[in-house]
């Protein structure tokens, strides 16, 4: 029964997401809020791969959102709107940067890993700030969204919504497959006992680096979507506090759970929107809420849905 | 570039390093002994500065303000430890980062409600407010010299505390083997609260010292928190000596970068390119330093001995 | 419900909300920063907008006025989301406010794309003054380059031959530097762009400035960094050695703090601006007196621009007699700049940025001993920003 509750809730949430534009026919604003939440959910899912399953505490994950969004922005700046060029390049650059950063930071462990991922992300943030050509802190306005040879019109907000939804489904289902694959098993096993996995002859380092690069690439996808959605990119998107927000989405939703990050991201954004409307001093409520979640709701929202099923653990 | 300017900038770098050290000392103690990542350390820096500003306003004297604010921050620190952070010692770093991130939000908003968004300025007594000639023709702000003197005194006192006293022995023992200290019958809970309070007081002191220079304002903690983390990571977590040396290195690198990088870059690239590249590079300098140090020494420059 | 939702005819509006397609009120969205340390600016703007609403009796063109305040949290993404909300959910007729260039740039498409009017009460990025100018965009402030250009002119007049420039390393900071470089004829002997935000300690930069032996130091540090800079300038013993010329660094928000902090060094320093609390126009008197009476402090230039933006909107709605569907009529009315402005009469340029005078101001103490600024000279008459020529409008 416990297992069923999770499945029922998950399916209900996905159906609700699928039908939202129909249900909210005349309210594009909320469609936008949810689209943004789904984009950040993709980013949170990617972070969950390394954070929740791989125990790699990256404090610089927002950097790949920035890279994705900047790719759209910089191409658009040069009047190249073709998504078939923009998107592969964005993903490739995200992967490359993740490879570089992963290779450097995976030499360290524990707190040092947290700090070095943050330092590398901060370097990218300052790089963005100094890019005069691309607006420095003003960033770039993306006047035209990615074009796909007339196949998909992202300028239409409902279409964009379903594109985001499609990618979210793809990401979450792909992740579910991945973590149950041999690769996923190795990654999850290293979380519990890295030395043993090493002793068993697994090239643990290479597995971890692969997961790190994969997470960065998927997060780059979220960045591509976010750039298109907000019509805008600036270095703020890469600031360490944004990485912190992503981490919170993962924890809020439930670490190491496939669908958790979706719940986390949506709850986080709705909470932010709702609380900031309620009072200007919303952070005085939000801060302690964060602490309470950490202290008492260890499993996040996913944890409220009952014990984890075995394949998921 | 002249030698007097180089000297002056070295002093500036040294002074920045001293403030960083006061921040980092508490951070590295808490980190090294309780294995606790406390992002809210910056909030204690801010609270220290704001309390000091208020007390200075009430008493009309900066020195009295500091003397009153120090025990006040100590109390705030102990309260934070007892109410929120104590339960987190056994949790993993992720929980600690998140919960203390929540504390930052809370404290910033609280400070905004109590002190208003504009922050406060701290007037200095006249004898501290000007500058004196350290060499003929080279004036230097009196207050910054004072900061260096006070900082060195605190560092010396801390050294004495850690190396010469029984408490210090426990602290060192705790940094290298926590379980063992507990097994020896030491009241770990009390020791932790004490260390946290000490760290809070040091952070608060750093804030009070910085406030007459940068003004006491909301969110000031975040701008020094990250450099302080860089310091303890470069120095090796848990090592006071490492924190001291790394703080001076970070302070000097940051200041020298801001001072001479444009000239340096100008020697091999166009003036325009140097003008753009220099501020970007000097902003990144300390992160580059950290990445390089960790690449070659994944545990920092001076990892405490006996840690696995 | 939106925070700070404020309306003279709030109850009436609620009652009429169910009646479709009837413009019972003029809806104005106002986006500014109410949280974070920058909230001090947002508060000044919100206060000024509320004051203006009172002064027009809560009505324009025979309609009640409803204002929706939103907080951008100093983040472009949040600013855009709040703007979307105003445009799509609250269906406002005008969106005004915006302190920061990046928030404005991120949000503008949401407003202009929906065919609504966008009034910037502060941010003046060169993009929107030049190539990306738009018929439905108006600024009641200034374009970033103008104020430092006026300062450059002042420096020329005062015979300053060499200048040391210090500004934060972000877009507006670079605009300020570019502005002063545009008009200053002497030599710039040194330039520091400091880390932004975050760097509040300028020891290294000040040491370099002193070593440069320049005739003057030009500086731009808005908000809290301004106070820190002024303080350190004094501590470094530079007051009285090298004259300090600033833009947007000393204002009515920071002066009370300086006074409390006994920062005597700031007295007598110079700045340029399009407006001053002591400008002798009837509207300005009404504004400054009203503001001081209601809030017990001097208004800042942010407040002045915001106050103007309400009257600009009123001039549009009045001109079409409350027919909010008449966009062309409202646009034409606003382009005339035919409203009582705190800065006296001015015109809009082709890019809908003001063509206006710039003044030299000096920090002084008023009759009650409060620190404020006094107008000393007119630097530019009817000055237009340099980007207007790129605007095809």
Per-residue pLDDT reduced to its tens digit, B254-263:
999 999 988 8
Residue C9: what pLDDT?
41
Block mean pLDDT (10 aa), chain C, length 393 = 40 41 80 86 95 95 94 90 93 95 92 95 91 95 94 94 93 90 94 85 92 94 86 87 91 86 85 92 95 94 96 96 94 94 93 95 90 91 93 89
Q: What is the pTM of this model?
A: 0.89
Burial of B270 (0-12, 13-18, 19+ CB in 10 A): exposed
CA distance B287 to B253: 11
Catalogue the long-range contacts made by A5-13 (C-beta closer than 8 Å, 24 or more residues apart): A5/A305, A5/A306, A6/A259, A6/A302, A6/A305, A6/A306, A6/A309, A9/A305, A10/A259, A13/A259, A13/A262, A13/A263
Check: CB of residue A260 under 8 Å from CB of residue A300: yes
Which residue out of A282, A294, A295 would a mutagenesis test of the B interface target, given it has the greatest number of B Cβ atoms within 10 Å?
A294
Q: Which residue has the tokens 């975050």?
A: C198
| Residues 6 or more apart whose Cβ sits within 8 Å of residue C243 | C215, C216, C217, C269, C270
Q: Residue B228 above 80 pLDDT? A: yes
Per CB-CB distance under 8 Å, the chain A contacts of B280 are 126-127, 129-130
Contact C72, C82 (CB under 8 A): yes
Would you state the pLDDT for residue C8? 39
Test the C interface: residue of A73, A138, A240 with most C CBs within 10 Å = A138
Q: What is the pLDDT of residue B92?
A: 85
Other beta carbons within 10 angstroms of residue A218's beta carbon come to 27
Q: Which residues in B lie closer than 8 A to residue A132 (C-beta atoms)?
A: 276
ipTM for the predicted complex comes to 0.87
Nearest CA among A257, A269, A295 for reference residue A6: A257
pLDDT tens sequence across B156-211: 999 899 888 988 888 777 767 777 777 777 788 888 898 899 999 999 999 999 99
Domain ranges of chain B: 10-218
Residue B147 has pLDDT above 90, yes or no: yes
Determine how many CB atoms are found less than 10 A away from the CB of residue A3. Answer: 14
B233 touches chain A (CB under 8 A): yes
CB-CB under 8 Å, A234 with C80: no
Strand pairing category for C244-246 and C270-273: parallel
Query: How many CB atoms lie under 10 A from the CB of residue A195?
Result: 9
Note whether A62 and A289 are within 8 A (CB). Answer: no
- CATH 3.20.20.140 for the C146-273+357-390 domain, yes or no: no
User: Are A236 and C81 in contact (CB < 8 Å)?
Assistant: no
Tell me the nearest-neighbour CA distance from A121 into chain B, angstroms.
9
DSSP secondary structure, C92-127, as one string: -SEEEE---HHHHHHHHHHHHTTT-EEEESS---HH
Q: What is the number of residues in chain C?
A: 393
Chain A residue numbers with beta carbons less than 8 Å from the beta carbon of B233 are: 111-112, 115-116
- Of C236, A114, C319, A196, nearest in space to B129 by CA: C236
In this chain, the answer to whether the domains covering C6-142+280-345 and C146-273+357-390 adopt an identical fold is yes
Chain B residues within an 8 Å CB radius of C231:
121, 212-213, 215
Q: Which two tokens stand for residue C271?
A: 């700045």
For B233, which of A115, A281, A284 is closest by C-beta distance?
A: A115
Query: Which one, of B220, B201, B202, lies nearest residue B212 by Cα?
Result: B220
Between chains, do B215 and C38 touch, taking CB under 8 Å as contact? no
Q: Which pLDDT value is given to residue B110?
A: 93
Give the best residue of C74, C81, C109 to mutate against chain A (max A CB count within 10 A): C81
* Closest-CA residue of chain A to B91: A295
Residue B59 CB contacts under 8 Å (≥ 6 apart), including other chains: B65, B68
CA distance A292 to chain B (A): 8
B90-134 pLDDT, tens digit each? 888 888 988 998 999 999 999 989 998 888 888 888 888 888 888
Tokens of A304: 């409220």
Cα nearest neighbour of C90 on chain A: A29
pLDDT of C271 reads 92
Q: Helices A204-230 and A157-180, interaxial angle, to 10°?
A: 170
Interface contact B56, partner C, CB < 8 A: no
Per CATH, which fold does C6-142+280-345 belong to? Answer: Rossmann fold (3.40.50)
The answer to whether A306 and A312 are in contact (CB under 8 A) is no
Task: Give pLDDT < 70 ranges for chain A.
Answer: 1-3, 26, 307-313
Would you call A262 exposed, middle or buried from its count of C-beta atoms within 10 A (0-12, 13-18, 19+)?
A: buried
- Contact yes or no for A127 and B110 at CB 8 A: no
Question: Percent helix, strand, coil in chain B (nearest 5)?
Answer: 80, 5, 20
Class of domain A2-9+28-312: mainly alpha
CB B160 within 8 A of CB C255: no
Q: Does the CA dihedral A89-A94-A99-A101 come out positive or negative?
A: positive
Euclidean distance between CA atoms C382 and C186, whole angstroms: 24
Q: Which chains touch C (3 or more CB pairs under 8 A)?
A: A, B
- Domain definitions of chain C by residue range: 6-142+280-345, 146-273+357-390
**Distance of residue B218 Cα from the nearest chain C Cα, in angstroms:** 6
- pLDDT category at B305 given cuts 50, 70, 90 is low
Question: Are the Cβ atoms of C203 and B144 closer than 8 angstroms?
Answer: yes
Domain borders along chain A are: 2-9+28-312
């Amino acid at each position: 029964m416990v297992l069923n509750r999770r499945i029922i809730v998950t399916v209900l949430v996905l159906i609700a997401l699928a039908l939202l534009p129909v249900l909210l026919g005349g309210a594009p604003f909320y469609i936008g809020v949810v689209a943004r939440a789904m984009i950040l959910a993709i980013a949170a899912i990617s972070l969950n791969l390394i954070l929740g399953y791989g125990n790699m505490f990256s404090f610089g994950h927002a950097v790949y959102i920035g890279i994705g969004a900047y790719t759209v922005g910089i191409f658009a700046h040069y009047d190249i709107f073709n998504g078939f060029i923009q998107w592969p390049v964005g993903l490739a650059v995200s992967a490359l940067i993740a490879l570089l950063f992963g290779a450097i930071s995976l030499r360290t462990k524990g707190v040092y890993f947290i700090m070095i991922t943050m330092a590398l992300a901060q370097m990218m943030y300052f790089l963005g700030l100094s890019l005069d050509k691309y607006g420095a802190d003003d960033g770039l306005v993306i006047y035209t969204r990615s074009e796909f040879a007339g196949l998909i019109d992202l300028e239409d907000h409902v279409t964009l919504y379903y594109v985001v939804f499609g990618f979210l489904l793809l990401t979450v289902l792909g992740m579910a497959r991945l973590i149950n694959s041999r690769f996923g098993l190795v990654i999850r096993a290293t979380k519990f006992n890295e030395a043993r996995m090493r002793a068993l002859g697994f090239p643990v380092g290479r597995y971890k680096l692969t997961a790190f690069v994969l997470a960065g690439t998927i997060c780059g996808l979220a960045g591509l979507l976010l750039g298109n959605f907000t019509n805008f990119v600036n270095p703020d998107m890469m600031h360490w506090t944004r990485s912190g927000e992503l981490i919170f989405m993962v924890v809020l939703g439930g670490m190491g759970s496939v669908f958790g990050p979706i719940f986390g991201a949506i709850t986080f954004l709705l909470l932010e929107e709702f609380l900031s409307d309620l009072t200007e001093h919303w952070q005085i409520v939000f801060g302690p809420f964060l602490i309470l979640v950490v202290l008492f709701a260890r499993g996040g929202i996913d944890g409220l849905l009952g014990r984890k099923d075995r394949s998921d653990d | 570039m002249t030698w007097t300017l180089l000297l002056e900038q070295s002093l500036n770098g040294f002074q920045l390093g001293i403030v960083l050290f006061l921040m980092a000392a508490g951070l590295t103690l808490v980190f090294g002994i309780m294995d606790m990542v406390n992002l809210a350390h910056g909030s204690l820096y801010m609270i220290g500065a704001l309390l000091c500003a208020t007390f200075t306003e009430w008493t009309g004297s900066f020195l009295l303000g500091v003397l009153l604010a120090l025990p006040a921050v100590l109390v705030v620190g102990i309260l934070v430890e007892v109410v929120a952070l104590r339960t987190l010692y056994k949790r993993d770093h992720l929980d600690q980062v998140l919960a203390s991130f929540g504390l930052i939000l809370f404290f910033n908003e609280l400070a905004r409600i109590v002190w208003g968004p504009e922050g406060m300025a701290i007037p200095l007594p006249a004898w501290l407010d000007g500058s004196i000639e350290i060499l003929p023709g080279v004036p230097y702000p009196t207050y910054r010299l004072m900061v260096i003197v006070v900082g060195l005194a605190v560092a010396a006192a801390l050294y004495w505390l850690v190396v010469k006293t029984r408490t210090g022995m426990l602290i060192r023992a705790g940094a290298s083997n926590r379980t063992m200290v507990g097994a020896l019958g030491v009241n770990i809970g009390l020791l932790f609260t004490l260390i946290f309070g000490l760290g809070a007081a040091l952070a608060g002191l750093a804030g009070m010292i910085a406030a007459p220079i940068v003004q006491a304002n909301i969110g000031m903690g975040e701008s020094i928190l990250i450099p302080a983390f860089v310091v303890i990571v470069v120095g090796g977590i848990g090592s006071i000596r490492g924190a001291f040396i790394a703080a001076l290195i970070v302070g000097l690198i940051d200041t020298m970068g801001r001072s001479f990088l444009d000239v340096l870059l100008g020697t091999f690239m166009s003036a325009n390119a140097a003008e753009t590249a220099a501020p970007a590079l000097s902003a990144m300098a300390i992160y580059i330093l950290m990445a390089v140090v960790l690449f070659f020494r994944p545990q920092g420059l001076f990892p405490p001995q006996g840690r696995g | 419900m939106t925070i700070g939702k404020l309306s003279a005819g709030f109850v009436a509006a609620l009652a009429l909300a169910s009646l479709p397609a009837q413009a019972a009120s003029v809806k104005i969205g106002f986006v500014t920063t109410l949280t974070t340390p920058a909230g001090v600016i947002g508060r000044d703007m919100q206060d000024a907008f509320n004051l203006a609403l009172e002064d027009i009796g809560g009505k324009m063109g025979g309609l009640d006025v409803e204002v929706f305040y939103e907080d951008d949290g100093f983040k472009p993404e949040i600013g855009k989301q709040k703007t979307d909300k105003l445009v799509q959910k609250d269906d406002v007729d005008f969106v005004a406010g915006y302190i920061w260039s990046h928030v404005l740039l991120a949000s503008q498409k949401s407003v202009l794309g929906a065919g609504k009017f966008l009034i910037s009460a502060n941010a003046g990025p060169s993009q929107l003054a030049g190539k990306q100018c738009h018929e439905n965009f108006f600024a009641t402030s200034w374009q970033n380059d103008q104020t430092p250009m006026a300062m450059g002119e002042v420096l020329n007049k005062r015979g300053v031959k060499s200048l040391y420039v210090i500004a934060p390393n972000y877009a507006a900071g670079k605009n300020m530097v570019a502005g002063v470089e545009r008009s200053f004829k002497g030599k710039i002997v040194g330039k520091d762009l400091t880390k932004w935000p975050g760097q509040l300690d300028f020891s290294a930069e000040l040491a370099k400035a002193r070593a440069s032996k320049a005739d003057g130091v030009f500086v731009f540090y808005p908000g809290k960094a301004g106070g820190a800079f002024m303080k350190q300038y004094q501590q470094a013993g530079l007051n009285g050695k090298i004259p300090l010329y600033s833009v947007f660094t000393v204002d009515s928000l920071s002066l009370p703090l300086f006074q409390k902090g006994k920062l005597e060094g700031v007295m007598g320093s110079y700045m340029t601006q399009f407006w001053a609390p002591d400008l002798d126009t009837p509207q300005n008197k009404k504004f400054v007196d009203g503001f001081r009476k209601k809030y017990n402090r001097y208004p800042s230039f942010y407040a002045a621009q915001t106050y103007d933006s309400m009257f600009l909107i009123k001039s549009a709605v009045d001109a079409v007699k409350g027919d909010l569907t008449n966009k062309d009529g409202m646009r034409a009315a606003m382009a005339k700049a035919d409203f009582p402005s705190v800065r006296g009469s001015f015109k809009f340029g082709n890019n809908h940025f003001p063509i206006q005078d710039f003044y030299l101001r000096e920090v002084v103490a008023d009759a009650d001993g409060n620190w404020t600024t006094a107008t000393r000279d007119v630097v530019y008459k009817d000055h237009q920003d340099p980007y207007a020529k790129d605007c095809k409008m």
